[in-house]
Structure 1
């Protein structure tokens, strides 16, 4: 055989093997890329399904917390009394206040305590804490803990006695029985200043757990998405509940609602629906509203309170 032809044959054969090798390598590379893409898509699908599952779990937990919140309110009850107005005079009968109505009368009662306190001294930070202590734990415990507060104890005791055990020779109407002063009346049907720790401690603890769960979850990263849950939570709260929530924070009993670590009021607007006209009129209370209003926020845009101009 001609050596030239033999060498040419070897070269052609080598080129054929090389071309086949390159083709095989290219096919392997395409296969690996396709496999990598498929694996990536599969992982994304798994992650998406996992995220959806975790979100569904969060939704279930959130709605269960809402259900328990409503149950907590529905189960609240204070047994007390009221008086019939008859020709012979006032006649006492048993009465009960329950459910969301309790927050209306509890706010009224706390405002009465604040009003009576102002007959002794002006309200400041410590004074507000004293008033909330009486409201939360009751006058009897306050007497034991602060026996030197004689003037305040006397005024509160007199208001309680007139409400609970009126002098029927003097007081002839149910309205007069509840009047403390021209601008303050004890319009509720239970023993005044008996304390609400058994009701409110559990209520506020559960409400805080629900709010904190939304704020700190890693399942929802976007602020606006979290706000959707906060709006649903806030929609469960009456104006009077939000007022008492504000007072709870202001007394430092509920300091965790708004501090250097948490911004559940200013960032997530838990008390957005406050009616300022329903707050007790006092400089200390109003000044702290302004402190909240003017606090710098990281995510919230726009007004903190719906009634702000």
Structure 2
């Protein structure tokens, strides 16, 4: 903002004041009458008091605005301090995700591989009459809870709306695969189908609370810019698992509150990261998001 703009209000006030003061004298001048000095003096006193009061009011308004701006600046500073603390905690949460000898962002590469393995099994049992979102939900719940003895009860409860016979068959197939891997000495970075709720549960709860914290703040800020900073911390594989999480019953709040679309949390996933021929088309599932590959 230039200097001229800074003084715009003061200039307007000055001009209006001059117009008001001289408005009473101009008609007299045009009629050729002599201005009464005593009346002019009294009128001047009146104008002085009036203008003084007016400027006092303006001073109060400007003081109020200054205090309001200072308060807002303080609130923004508090918000940013907490936001960057939450961002730091998110980084720590990511680093604390461990799979055997690997940790952090590398683990999400293996998560995607495991999900794809589960998704393939689910598609073998559920034909094309089953909506793709349901197949993703079933697959993600298998991936998240696993087929272990204790997790199985939770898994079956979450999948109670689906064909129980088919669900039991998938559990049996995945459990058999785990056993065969062990017997054949097949080396993987970690045991498939054991579940990841202990690894990802807290990770996604914290991520959700961070975005919700920004979303709910009633401040004069560009919320999307702050969430963009958060999104920049997520690798492509993290965003891919995030997309799957949001499509599942576990992550339904992301869609119910419209956060996934409003802040385009997964826009950096590359084109055809998921094969549209034998997996699914990400753009069809998230039509409101403008992905990076579309720009």
**Deviation of the 1:165 alpha carbon:** 3.0
**Deviation of the 1:41 alpha carbon:** 1.6
Distance 1:281 1:162 in 2: 30
**Deviation of the 1:19 alpha carbon:** 4.8
Distance 2:45 2:52 in 1: 10
- Give 1 or 2 for the bigger CA radius of gyration: 1
Q: Does 1:242 align with 2:263?
A: no
Larger strand percent = 1
Contact 1:272–1:306 (CA under 8 A) maintained in structure 2: yes
Q: Does 1:307 align with 2:290?
A: no
The aligned residue for residue 48 of structure 1 is 69
Q: Does 1:229 align with 2:226?
A: yes
Contact 1:163–1:192 (CA under 8 A) maintained in structure 2: no
- Provide Cα deviations, 1:240-275, integer angstroms capped at 9, x if missing partner: 11111110111121112123xx22232221111112
2:126 maps to which of 117, 121, 128: 121
**Deviation of the 1:281 alpha carbon:** 4.5
Runs of 5+ in structure 2 lacking a partner? 1-35, 157-163
Matches within 5 A, 1:251-270: 251-259=248-256, 262-270=257-265
Larger helix percent = 2
Number of residue pairs aligned between Structure 1 and Structure 2: 247
Aligned residue for 1:253, secondary structure, equals coil
CA RMSD across the alignment: 2.5
Contact 2:122–2:138 (CA under 8 A) maintained in structure 1: no
- Provide Cα deviations, 1:31-72, integer angstroms capped at 9, x if missing partner: 111111211221121111111111111111111111010010
The aligned residue for residue 105 of structure 1 is 110
Distance 2:111 2:182 in 1: 16
TM-score normalised by L of structure 2: 0.75
The aligned residue for residue 130 of structure 1 is 138
Distance 1:143 1:280 in 2: 29
**Deviation of the 1:20 alpha carbon:** 4.4
**Deviation of the 1:75 alpha carbon:** 1.3
Contact 1:266–1:304 (CA under 8 A) maintained in structure 2: no
**Deviation of the 1:280 alpha carbon:** 5.3
Distance 2:110 2:250 in 1: 20
The aligned residue for residue 156 of structure 1 is 174
- Provide Cα deviations, 1:103-139, integer angstroms capped at 9, x if missing partner: 1111111111111222323363433322222111110
